[in-house]
Amino acid sequence: MDKERILQELEFKAVRSSGAGGQHVNKVSSKVELYFDVAASKALSENEKERIYTKIGNRLTKENVLILYSDTSRSQHKNKELVIQKFLDLIRSALTVAKKRRKTKPKRSAVEKRLKSKLKKAQKKSLRGKPKLD
């Protein structure tokens, strides 16, 4: 993944934020939408694209475009920085390959310790019963 090339392929659009906010929100476009076309990206290899499709395919449109937005700040520049950071985190997490799990056996001492604690608990609980009259 080439971060600089990916950042060049991003498209941004400033939109008016939704929700309450008074007069200011009706005339200022502070919400920033980010568009990234995964299929047309030259910065990603085919293997990386496939990994993105499988990991975050549910967030892509039918045209394989990833759309993210940020409207948390009142500043358009701050929202742009936030949405870029959100995008980079999402792509980084989608491209990380999970380590394969190796099967391991518990150590003999751990098994013995577990069995001793089970026996101790069983003895403690058996003493809680009613006394036997022989």
Per-residue pLDDT reduced to its tens digit, 44-88: 999 999 999 999 999 999 999 999 999 888 889 999 999 999 999
Domain ranges of the chain: 3-95
The pTM for the full model equals 0.71
CATH number of 3-95: 3.30.160.20
Nearest CA-CA partner of 55 in 43, 70, 42, 66: 66
Query: 58: how many CB neighbours lie within 10 A of its CB?
Result: 5
Reported as a pLDDT band with limits 50, 70 and 90, residue 112 is very high
Residue 114 has pLDDT above 80, yes or no: yes
Single-letter code of the amino acid located at 41: S
